């Protein structure tokens, strides 16, 4: 069986330096950034020296990777034969304490992505970066950018100021649903709170492993607060979340829902079935058992072959060579992961009109 062309649902373009964004900032904020002597805003991603941040053979002379569209195409698109790749830019706009400055940087990043990336390779699509410090400003940014149909998703971070299900975030979901944009929740934090539920850790290993419980907390929040009930056409994509925790988490969530459902009557169906219908996960980092039988069992436990979306998580180091897909995957399932599931999830990928 020939596999379809890949649709890579999590690729990271690297902002080469703050200077690259300056031309895209409104004049007032450009002057402010220069006058205040801003340093780089790499606050929501790991530093370049972290081995996971950039795969060693993808690093350039500066020690970074994915800083230009040419390099990204050569390293992330061509080798995997990707038909589309969705760019998720991780830069510190959402971590800034000033709502106005955060909004200005989100606008600059989205415009930089459109001009410097999407205009230069028609295989590229992108997520809209929004200033979650202020949902009103986030909605304004969605409305401003969504007219460009190459933007296919709204990007949120798993670690923010408040749980994502809380009512004050609902305008973001309303705007996303209106424009047919899934909400993509990506690993990363604005560091308003410790990344573990028990306090601040010491090592990157602890930070990274604890992203998964963060995803569980956010999924529980979205479910319990009623986001899935209020926005029936909204899809949520968990990106770089890992996948193997999902079945055990759903067993636990469903168990306690059975006993406590009277307090959240809007969750009228078992949480596992809501998640199966409304939530998707990107593939890398794939943390399933290493043997073929283990992967098959995991898929059985997940209860659906529509959960997973192909991703390389370029340029992060999750695998070597071209081993983005786990070995021994059933070809029919592989085809779904590579293309069918992404095309169902991202309606705008089916839009052949391209940019407006």
Which stretches of the chain bind Zn ion, using CB under 5 A?
10, 240, 313
Sign of CA dihedral 20, 349, 280, 6: negative
Q: Which of 180, 306, 318 is nearest to 246 (CA)?
A: 306
Least distance (Å) from Zn ion to the CB of residue 171? 26
CB 150 within 8 A of CB 54: no
Ramachandran assignment for 6, one of left (phi > 0), alpha (psi -120 to 50 degrees), beta (any other): beta
Query: Could you tell me the CA-to-CA distances from 136 to 88, 116, 171, 229, 283 in Å, in that order?
Result: 22, 27, 7, 22, 32
Which one, 42 or 224, has the nearer CB to Zn ion? 42
CA–CA distance, 68 with 65 (Å, rounded to integer) = 8
Which one, 10 or 141, has the nearer CB to Zn ion? 10
Q: Residue 126 is inside which H or E element, if any?
A: strand 124-129
CA–CA distance, 287 with 281 (Å, rounded to integer) = 12
Burial track 60-80 (b if 16+ CB lie within 10 A, e otherwise): beeebbbbbbebbbebbbeeb
Please give the residue whose beta carbon sits closest to Zn ion in the complex.
240
Least distance (Å) from Zn ion to the CB of residue 329? 20
Which one, 46 or 191, has the nearer CB to Zn ion? 46
> Across-strand partners of 87?
11, 126
CA–CA distance, 294 with 20 (Å, rounded to integer) = 45
The torsion defined by the Cα of 236, 286, 93 and 23, in degrees rounded to 10, comes to -110
Tokens for 5, please give them. 């062309």
Least distance (Å) from Zn ion to the CB of residue 352? 27
SS3 352: coil
Which one, 139 or 185, has the nearer CB to Zn ion? 185
Which one, 228 or 317, has the nearer CB to Zn ion? 317
CB 349 within 8 A of CB 7: yes
Which one, 132 or 224, has the nearer CB to Zn ion? 132
Which one, 225 or 313, has the nearer CB to Zn ion? 313
Least distance (Å) from Zn ion to the CB of residue 311? 7
Least distance (Å) from Zn ion to the CB of residue 109? 16
Least distance (Å) from Zn ion to the CB of residue 262? 38
Which one, 27 or 320, has the nearer CB to Zn ion? 320
Helical residues (DSSP H) of 37-78, grouped into ranges = 69-72
CA–CA distance, 353 with 356 (Å, rounded to integer) = 8
SS3 86: strand
**φ/ψ of residue 98, rounded to 5:** -80, 120
Least distance (Å) from Zn ion to the CB of residue 12? 6
Least distance (Å) from Zn ion to the CB of residue 212? 14
Which one, 8 or 177, has the nearer CB to Zn ion? 8
Tokens for 108, please give them. 């600059």
Least distance (Å) from Zn ion to the CB of residue 186? 6
């Amino acid at each position: 069986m020939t596999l379809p062309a890949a649709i890579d649902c999590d690729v990271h373009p690297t902002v080469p330096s703050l200077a690259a964004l300056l031309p895209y900032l409104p004049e007032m904020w450009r002057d402010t950034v220069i006058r205040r002597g801003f340093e780089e805003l790499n606050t929501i991603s790991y530093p370049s020296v972290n081995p996971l941040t950039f795969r060693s053979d993808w690093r350039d002379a500066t020690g970074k990777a994915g800083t230009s569209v040419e390099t990204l195409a050569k390293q992330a698109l061509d080798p995997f034969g990707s038909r589309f790749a969705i760019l998720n830019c991780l830069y510190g706009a959402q971590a800034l304490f000033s709502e106005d400055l955060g909004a200005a940087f989100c606008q600059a990043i989205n415009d930089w992505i459109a001009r410097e990336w999407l205009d230069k390779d028609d295989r590229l699509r992108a997520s809209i970066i929004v200033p979650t410090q202020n949902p009103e400003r986030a909605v304004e940014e969605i409305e401003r950018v969504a007219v460009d149909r190459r933007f296919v998703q709204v990007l949120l971070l798993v670690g923010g100021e408040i749980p994502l299900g809380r009512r004050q975030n609902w305008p973001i979901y309303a705007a996303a649903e209106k424009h047919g944009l899934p909400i993509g929740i990506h690993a990363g934090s604005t560091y308003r709170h410790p990344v573990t539920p028990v306090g601040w850790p010491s090592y990157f290993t602890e930070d990274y492993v604890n992203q998964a419980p963060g995803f569980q907390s956010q999924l529980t929040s979205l479910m319990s607060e009623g986001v899935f009930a209020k926005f029936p056409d909204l899809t949520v994509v968990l990106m770089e979340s890992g996948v193997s925790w999902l079945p055990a988490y759903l067993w636990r969530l469903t168990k306690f829902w059975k006993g406590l459902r009277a307090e959240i009557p809007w969750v009228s169906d078992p949480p596992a079935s809501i998640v199966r219908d409304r939530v998707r996960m990107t593939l890398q980092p794939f943390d399933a058992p290493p043997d073929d039988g283990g992967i098959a069992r995991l898929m059985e436990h997940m209860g659906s072959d529509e959960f997973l979306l192909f991703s390389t998580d370029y340029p992060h180091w999750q695998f070597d060579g071209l081993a983005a897909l786990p070995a021994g995957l059933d070809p029919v399932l592989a085809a779904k992961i590579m293309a069918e599931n992404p095309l169902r999830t991202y309606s705008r990928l089916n839009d052949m009109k391209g940019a407006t």
